[in-house]
Amino acid sequence: MSEFFYKTKLFEEVAGHMLEHIRSQQWPAGMRLPSEPDLAKYFEVSRSTVRLAIKSLQGSGILHSRVGAGTYVTENAPLMLATRELATAMADPDNLSALVQARYILEPQLAALAAQNATEADISRMNEIVREMEKLTDRLPLMTSGYRFHEAVAKAAHNAVLYGFYQSAANQLQTLRFLETLSTEIFLEGIDEHRRIAKAIEDQNGALAKELMRAHLKKDYAGYLNKTDVLE
């Protein structure tokens, strides 16, 4: 008998095994699950434990039940599992370097797209943030303005999928507070870098916007990347 039978919250372990069945496509999207008695026998647990496991996955949108028709794997279950796994990975401090690498790869591309797709309102927003930066001298307000500028660039790319990836990584990095060791001087130097990025985007120079963003991130992120070849 597997060790998970001895855990306090047995239904969570059963739910975990159900997720593995879905993840491995043993239970594909749209499939009707075996009956509660069959599942209880399969996992060697009580029907009440199976019921709780199913209920927990219903709450997550992984499973849904139809009265008189049984319990089914939702059509969006594979996507939802992938999203959950990505969120879990991003929340792990051990993956800090991977998050930094993700931003280093993604943001120059977003800057290039912004040069192609930015509206007048987008450009106005970027320039407004830069003007606000020019009035700042303290580290925390400068850091906050920097985040706002990068988010404005990401939005200006007008690609909802890429923006979603960017926002997930950026928000998690902000939560992990990985920039705590950067000095006020670094943030002050970043003002001109942000100004030049905004100008390249305004001039619709995608290649320059991409190059400037890469150089800006390389300086800020170098200490958090384990493999320097990622920066080249």
CATH architecture for the domain at 91-231: Up-down Bundle (1.20)
Is this prediction's pTM over 0.75?
no
Per-residue pLDDT tens digits of the chain, which is 232 residues long: 344 444 448 898 999 899 889 888 899 989 999 999 999 999 999 999 999 999 989 887 889 988 888 999 998 887 777 666 655 655 565 667 777 888 888 999 999 999 999 999 999 999 999 999 999 888 878 888 998 999 999 999 999 989 888 887 777 676 555 555 567 888 888 899 999 999 999 999 999 999 999 999 888 777 665 544 455 5
* CATH number belonging to the domain at 3-75, selected among 3.40.50.720, 3.40.50.10470, 1.10.10.10, 3.30.428.10: 1.10.10.10
Phi, psi of 105 (to 5 degrees): -75, -40
Domains 3-75 and 91-231 fall in the same CATH topology: no
**Model pLDDT, residue 3:** 42
Q: For residue 35, what is the DSSP state?
A: P
Q: Exposure of 18 by Cβ count < 10 A (0-12 exposed, 13-18 middle, 19+ buried)?
A: buried
**Best CA proximity match to 143, nearest among 107, 171, 179:** 179
**Sequence spans of domains, the chain:** 3-75, 91-231
**Model pLDDT, residue 131:** 96
